[in-house]
Amino acid sequence: MRFDEAAERLGLDDGIRKVLRSPAMEVTVNIPVVLDDGRVEVFTGYRVQHSIARGPAKGGIRFAPDVSLDEMRALASWMTWKCAVANIPFGGAKGGVICDPAILSDGELERITRRYTAEILDFIGPERDVPAPDVSTNEQTMAWIMDTYSMHKRHTVTAVVTGKPLTLGGSRGRREATGRGCLFVALQALKKFGMKPEETRVIVQGLGNVGGTAARLMQGAGFKIIGIIEYDGAVLNQNGLDVTALARHRTETGSILGFSEGEDADRDEAFLMPCDVLVPAARENVITSANAGRIQAKILCEGANGPTTSAADAILAENRVFVIPDILANTGGVTVSYFEWVQDRQGYFWNEKLVNTRLEEIMIESFEDVISYAAKHHVHNRTAAYMLALDRVASAIKLRGLYA
């Protein structure tokens, strides 16, 4: 629906729309693995490259029981639009293996990862497709992929993946990049409305890598974090929560509830409380037609992928909620992944201050591009972001032409 609206407003012809909708390549592989008890199990894996029009494909690899080809297709196209909004020279990709990491040992996960890498070896590489961590994968997973790829190529190829450990060519600032990007675009939104951080009340859904980092950094920038929402409830304090202390409490107790410096609350009710900035940074589809009309935030900064349904968009727009859409707000991660790829290819690594400075530059420029596009075309921010992304990818396709 969002694609169709953006394509219609841009006046893209049917042929280009077909190209933009269609993945450039899809691979399905079967992965035989010897388990710790000696049994042989065969896992199914996927890698989908949606677009390589603007550069190598880029996207995560996830290990989960519900991984599907349709999901990979959708997420790969999402990555294409994200990279285009940030104007970094990547297309979109996504991969995954159907498995349950919770019941697999580290040795079994390593064997799955290495065999999966070997099966897709001909389709990835620094100039073709650059994977990264995603759901239930991490720096160690990327190290196994990098090593497997390098062993086959007979030389070390650090740029084949991003999200690696620092000692293997990872980038400083990568782990905090998505949350830090949310901070940068939120600050730009405040400037637009003449608001000051110290007068801004924030509720964050999620205390994981994205939400926790965003909350901590926003608090450090002067924002008042009045609420944190997790899967088992919420904690509120109108005078501001100490995010670091709350995270420590969760580590010690296994829950954010029962925090001495806040009040426990229902997670759904907390989501709808008055605030200046709401940061959904956990799950998909948490803002729907059922609750969008009761959102009381002035600014919605989407740290998670797909937190808002299409049906909710019109309601938010009618209520004049200023939306910083996910394909803009959470591009900090892929942007610093791009920096990691650049550093690996150069063989020269930046300090964290330089990484963060360049991230801030790109996030601010991307924010301004989307806001300007929205004003020029008289559309809301999400539609503007999709229009900008489609326009950039379509322009690259047209300039390159169709090889025949």
* Closest-CA residue to 198 (of 222, 166, 219): 222
Q: How many CB atoms lie within 10 A of CB 378?
A: 9
Q: Are residues 185 and 316 in the same domain?
A: yes
Q: What confidence category does residue 157 fall into, taking pLDDT thresholds of 50, 70 and 90?
A: very high
Nearby residues of 377 by Cβ (< 8 Å), 6 or more positions away: 9, 383, 384, 387
Residue 106 lies in a domain: yes
Q: What value does the mean pLDDT of the chain take?
A: 97
> Tens digit of pLDDT for each residue in 192-248?
999 999 999 999 999 999 999 999 999 999 999 999 999 999 999 999 999 999 999
Cα gap 205→214, rounded to integer Å: 10
Question: Is a pLDDT exceeding 80 seen at residue 113?
Answer: yes
Q: Are residues 261 and 198 in the same domain?
A: yes
Of the candidates 145, 168, 191, which is a domain's last residue? Answer: 168
Of the candidates 282, 303, 329, which is a domain's last residue? Answer: 329
Q: What confidence category does residue 284 fall into, taking pLDDT thresholds of 50, 70 and 90?
A: confident
Structure tokens at 252: 């010690």
DSSP H or E stretch at residue 16: helix 14-21
State the CATH number of the domain containing residue 106.
3.40.50.10860
Domain count for the chain, please give it.
Answer: 2
What local confidence, expressed as pLDDT, does residue 292 receive?
A: 96
Q: How many CB atoms lie within 10 A of CB 337?
A: 28
Question: Is a pLDDT exceeding 80 seen at residue 404?
Answer: no
Q: Are residues 188 and 52 in the same domain?
A: no
Q: Are residues 214 and 284 in the same domain?
A: yes
DSSP H or E stretch at residue 94: strand 91-98
Question: Is a pLDDT exceeding 90 seen at residue 47?
Answer: yes
DSSP H or E stretch at residue 319: none
What local confidence, expressed as pLDDT, does residue 13 receive?
A: 94
Residue 31: strand pairing partners:
43
The pair phi, psi for residue 206, each rounded to 5°, is: 110, 130
Cα gap 366→216, rounded to integer Å: 23
Q: Are residues 157 and 204 in the same domain?
A: no
Q: Are residues 95 and 233 in the same domain?
A: no
**What's the domain range around 33?**
21-168
What is the mean predicted confidence (pLDDT) over 267-271?
94
State the CATH number of the domain containing residue 309.
3.40.50.720
Q: What confidence category does residue 1 fall into, taking pLDDT thresholds of 50, 70 and 90?
A: confident
Place of tokens 């290990």: 63
Residue 401 lies in a domain: no
Q: Are residues 195 and 234 in the same domain?
A: yes
What local confidence, expressed as pLDDT, does residue 388 receive?
A: 98
Q: Are residues 250 and 279 in the same domain?
A: yes
Of the candidates 168, 194, 224, which is a domain's last residue? Answer: 168
What local confidence, expressed as pLDDT, does residue 65 receive?
A: 97
Question: Is a pLDDT exceeding 90 seen at residue 278?
Answer: yes
Task: Supply angle C-alpha 320, 323, 328, rounded to 5.
Answer: 160
Question: Is a pLDDT exceeding 80 seen at residue 174?
Answer: yes
SS3 351: coil
What local confidence, expressed as pLDDT, does residue 252 receive?
A: 96
String of DSSP letters for 338-386? HHHHHHHHHT----HHHHHHHHHHHHHHHHHHHHHHHHHHT--HHHHHH
Q: Are residues 129 and 181 in the same domain?
A: no
> Tens digit of pLDDT for each residue in 331-349?
999 999 999 999 999 999 9
* Closest-CA residue to 93 (of 145, 129, 46, 138): 129
Residue 2 lies in a domain: no
What local confidence, expressed as pLDDT, does residue 197 receive?
A: 97
What is the mean predicted confidence (pLDDT) over 158-174?
97
Q: Are residues 155 and 207 in the same domain?
A: no
Residue 336 lies in a domain: no
Q: What percent of the chain has pLDDT over 70?
A: 100
Question: Is a pLDDT exceeding 80 seen at residue 26?
Answer: yes
Residue 364 lies in a domain: no
* Closest-CA residue to 382 (of 91, 21, 1): 1
Structure tokens at 248: 């420590």
Residue 141: strand pairing partners:
none
Residue 400 lies in a domain: no
Q: Are residues 142 and 185 in the same domain?
A: no
Place of tokens 């407003």: 9
Active site residues: 94
Q: Are residues 296 and 314 in the same domain?
A: yes
Residue 63 lies in a domain: yes
Residue 345 lies in a domain: no
> Tens digit of pLDDT for each residue in 62-104?
999 999 999 999 999 999 999 999 999 999 999 999 999 999 9
What local confidence, expressed as pLDDT, does residue 248 receive?
A: 96
Place of tokens 């697999």: 104
What is the mean predicted confidence (pLDDT) over 30-42?
98
Question: Is a pLDDT exceeding 90 seen at residue 136?
Answer: yes
Cα gap 170→173, rounded to integer Å: 9
What local confidence, expressed as pLDDT, does residue 283 receive?
A: 84
Residue 103: strand pairing partners:
none
